[in-house]
Chain A
Amino acid sequence: MISGIAAEIMLTAILMSAAFIIGFIILKVVR
């Protein structure tokens, strides 16, 4: 159960990191 919870939280961290990188690139390109 605990490793399952850790994996699920890791999933949200990956999503947030991907979104941050996309946001960073878009800001650079649009500017």
Chain B
Amino acid sequence: MLLRPKYSDIKIILYYLGKITLGIGLLMVIPLATSILFKEYNAMFDFLTGMAVCFSFGFLFIRIFFTNEDLDWMHGMIIVALTWVAAALFSAIPLYLSGHFASFLDACFDSMSGYATTGLSLMADIDHVSNAHNMWRHFIMYIGGQGIIVVVLTFLLRATGAFTMYVGEAREERILPNVIHTARFIWLVSLVYLAIGTSALFLTGVYEGMQPVRAFLHGLWIFMAAWDTGGFTPQSQNILYYHSAIYELITISMMFLGALNFKLHYSVWTGNKKELIKNIEVVTLFITALATFSLCAIGLAKAGVYPEAISLFRKGFYQLISGHVGTGYSTVYPKQFVFEWGGLALVAITIAMAIGGSACSTAGGIKALRIGIIYKALRQDINRMILNENTVLLEKFHHIRDIVLEDKHVRSAAMIMLCYLALYFAGAIAGMLFGYQPLEALFESVSAAANVGLSCGITAPSMPNALKLTYMFQMWIGRLEFISVFTLLQFLLSTVKGK
């Protein structure tokens, strides 16, 4: 039986939503400062408008729905689900005002793609976007990868009930005993790599002949989107624009490291380096990456696209790993996937995208941890068939510590995997309903739902609005790993059908 929510439930949800809206307005200070620094006054007014709207709604919600009540699990989950919708809507305002979007829906598509760290874009004439707007596009990707709630938890909100929202944002692993300390550790890792990655890309940019300021900005933006496995770039040609093998090696490293579990980073940084070769997620990622790359390489070799080993590696492995970890950076044109790469390579990348990176990382997809757990469970069941039925079988997996495989692990992993598979196929069917080829529709759908951002050419401003909304929904629900969105849907249902 569904219980109709009380006014106090709605009040607490909207109160916290107001706080987060205020936080989104505050985040616009970064692109605003960029616009002032580079004397981009048109862009400056776009961000002032965006801030004004965020502050107005934020203060209004806080004032009207003020409450001292603490959050429970349901509230936390619903706030998270609504936060991502509100963030996409409010963050789209300055993007839309830039004039680079055909409609407000297209701007919302890009901001949702940014927060969900997908990287699919409907922006027109990307090569001539202002520095401030580019800063905003990449910054929202950085925030989305960290988790909006993690950002707000670290800087704005009090800790009471915060763990519920932290879980809702698909970050159920507490690295340190206190959730605020966990959030701060995630920021520490990201900021250390921000310094390393930006410096490396800046030096490479200067070496390749870019102006120092431009090299720094591109280095910063590319790092933010690579680390957070996002995929936005300041150039329409994506990473191909740089024509630099060093740039490609650095971005591969950064996106792969971004797809590792923050708990693993903590373990390795505190001296437990053996974890890198023992952890179930790293082992699974290695096996799936090399297996899917082998499939991709066979496809490419058969198609004869890259006759040299170095070019096969540079093109094939780059797109494969970019898809696998959910970044979406590419060094080929979208239509090359369809017209040159052939079906086998496309299938290999689709499988890699569907699997995704690590849990509690910035990556999307089913996640290596779940794949590893399901494999272990399957192995246990097969062994049970072979051995004497009275034999007690104990299967373990190593994730920071040895964990005995239990039915609850398998149930949870299998359930989320099924949800992802259903989401991938539902998006593909939607694409096919609009007349796209099955394999291309599946590729684009997996790319959106697993928060990757590789495109075989379907995503374009001219695509049907219904498909834009489908992909936006896929990005949202895929990033939040279903549970919080399902809680929101149940809550909405209970307002209508509850007693």
Residues of A within 8 A of B (CB): 1, 3-5, 7-9, 11-13, 15-16, 18-20, 22-24, 26-27, 30-31
A-B contact list, 14 entries, CB within 8 Å: A3-B273, A4-B268, A7-B276, A9-B257, A11-B276, A15-B286, A15-B321, A16-B252, A20-B310, A22-B290, A22-B293, A23-B317, A24-B309, A26-B298
In contact, A16 and B269 (Cβ under 8 angstroms): no
Judge if B256 is at the interface, Cβ distance under 8 Å. Answer: yes
In contact, B309 and A20 (Cβ under 8 angstroms): yes
- Complex CA gap A5/B193 in Å reads 9
Q: Chain B residues with Cβ under 8 A from A4's Cβ?
A: 265, 268-271, 273
Which residue of B has the minimal Cβ distance to A3? B273
In contact, B282 and A11 (Cβ under 8 angstroms): yes
In contact, B273 and A12 (Cβ under 8 angstroms): no
Which residue of A has the minimal Cβ distance to B291? A22
The main secondary structure of chain B at its interface with chain A is: helix
Within the complex, the shortest CB–CB distance from B490 to chain A, in Å, comes to: 40
Answer whether A7 and B268 are a contact pair too, CB < 8 Å, given A1-B192, A12-B253. Answer: yes
- Complex CA gap A26/B308 in Å reads 11
Contact count band on B: 35 or more
In contact, B256 and A12 (Cβ under 8 angstroms): yes
Within the complex, the shortest CB–CB distance from B204 to chain A, in Å, comes to: 15
Partner of A23, one of B192, B289, B309: B309
Partner of B289, one of A13, A15, A24: A15
Q: Chain A residues with Cβ under 8 A from B346's Cβ?
A: none
Which residue of A has the minimal Cβ distance to B295? A26
Partner of B298, one of A1, A5, A11, A30: A30
- Complex CA gap A15/B270 in Å reads 23
Judge if B489 is at the interface, Cβ distance under 8 Å. Answer: no
Within the complex, the shortest CB–CB distance from B460 to chain A, in Å, comes to: 31
Within the complex, the shortest CB–CB distance from A28 to chain B, in Å, comes to: 8
In contact, B192 and A27 (Cβ under 8 angstroms): no
Which residue of B has the minimal Cβ distance to A29? B301
Partner of A19, one of B253, B260, B290: B290
Q: Chain A residues with Cβ under 8 A from B411's Cβ?
A: none
Judge if B332 is at the interface, Cβ distance under 8 Å. Answer: no
- Complex CA gap A4/B267 in Å reads 9
Within the complex, the shortest CB–CB distance from A27 to chain B, in Å, comes to: 5
Partner of A8, one of B276, B301, B317: B276
In contact, A8 and B316 (Cβ under 8 angstroms): no
Judge if B497 is at the interface, Cβ distance under 8 Å. Answer: no
Q: Chain A residues with Cβ under 8 A from B293's Cβ?
A: 19, 22-23
Within the complex, the shortest CB–CB distance from A21 to chain B, in Å, comes to: 9
Within the complex, the shortest CB–CB distance from B105 to chain A, in Å, comes to: 38
In contact, B192 and A5 (Cβ under 8 angstroms): yes
- Complex CA gap A4/B260 in Å reads 13
Judge if B452 is at the interface, Cβ distance under 8 Å. Answer: no
Partner of B313, one of A11, A19, A31: A19
Given A11-B256, A19-B293, 4 additional A-B pairs, CB 8 A: A4-B268, A13-B253, A26-B297, A27-B312
- Complex CA gap A1/B189 in Å reads 10
Task: Please encode chain B, from 427 to 456, with 1 for each CB lying within 8 Å of some chain A CB and 0 for all others.
Answer: 000000000000000000000000000000
Partner of B294, one of A13, A16, A26: A26
Judge if B63 is at the interface, Cβ distance under 8 Å. Answer: no
Find the residue from B196, B252, B268, B321 having the highest chain A CB count within 10 A.
Answer: B268
Judge if B302 is at the interface, Cβ distance under 8 Å. Answer: yes
Answer whether A12 and B257 are a contact pair too, CB < 8 Å, given A3-B273, A27-B301. Answer: yes
Within the complex, the shortest CB–CB distance from B250 to chain A, in Å, comes to: 10
Answer whether A8 and B257 are a contact pair too, CB < 8 Å, given A23-B317, A26-B298, A26-B301. Answer: yes
- Complex CA gap A9/B260 in Å reads 12
In contact, B317 and A20 (Cβ under 8 angstroms): yes
Within the complex, the shortest CB–CB distance from A1 to chain B, in Å, comes to: 5
Within the complex, the shortest CB–CB distance from B234 to chain A, in Å, comes to: 24
In contact, B302 and A30 (Cβ under 8 angstroms): yes
Which residue of A has the minimal Cβ distance to B316? A23
In contact, B260 and A8 (Cβ under 8 angstroms): yes
Which residue of A has the minimal Cβ distance to B298? A26
Which B311-337 residues have a C-beta within 8 angstroms of A? 312-313, 316-317, 321
In contact, B260 and A27 (Cβ under 8 angstroms): no
Partner of B312, one of A3, A13, A16, A23: A23
Q: Chain B residues with Cβ under 8 A from A8's Cβ?
A: 257, 260, 265, 268, 276
